[in-house]
Amino acid sequence: MPKVVPTYKAEARARIVEAATRLFVAKGFRRTTMDDVAEALGVSKGALYQYYPSKVDLLREIQAANRRMSRRWMDEALARPGGVAASFYESLEEVFDRWADREEIALYYEILGEASHDEEIRAAIRTDHREDLKSLRRFLVELRRRGMLRADVDLDVLAFMFIALFQGAVWDLNVGQEPDRTRRLLHAALEQILGQRPSEPVRGRRAHAPG
């Protein structure tokens, strides 16, 4: 039997994740079955199981894909000129635009609800949250190394605050607030936390390289 080349497997996984994401948004996580995913792809359920044995495995892969996308946005923000606030604004803008889609928000809260009585889903969310914190901290470390954050800032606390802030914005959108209002409040909160506007440089102490 010929071996499956890695590039084909990667493409197949990407197609599966894309189809599963569409179905989860359209039908909901609980109502979507592996049969639905296989049918959308035009493959047998057995073929699908070779890549992802369960819906939770698909969820983990979707979470990983979202993290890769967020890391790419952060890396792109680091490549742009400007102060720390500008970097945060630019890296969060695309994420915010995506979450302004209320169908995606509904899926987010449905999965959180499922986690309340499903330990496997809860474990997947814990892992995703931990990895999000690590990614954001890596971003903050690089900002501090470049002198864009004060040396005395606790990066673990700041990473937690930014994720909590963004989750608060998602909640605001979920209860029907206008996206432009939520965006303005998110920007204002960033200014309050960072003590600067997007165009302002960091003043005062020089930052040192992290240990």
Name the residue among 193, 106, 179, 94 with its Cα closest to residue 149: 193
- For residue 155, what pLDDT is reported? 93
Name the residue among 157, 135, 140 with its Cα closest to residue 210: 140
For residues 186 and 166, is the Cβ–Cβ distance under 8 A?
yes
Tokens of 163: 């994720």
Low-confidence spans in the chain with pLDDT less than 50: 1-6, 199-211
Task: Measure Cα distances from 16 to 2, 120, 132 in Å.
Answer: 22, 21, 23
User: Phi, psi at residue 106, to the nearest 5°?
Assistant: -60, -40
Domains of the chain (ranges plus CATH)? 1-53 (1.10.10.60), 55-194 (1.10.357.10)
Rounded CA gap, 43 and 31, in Å?
19
Tokens of 97: 């635009």
pLDDT in tens, 46-59: 999 999 999 999 99
Q: How far apart are the first and last CA of the chain?
A: 51
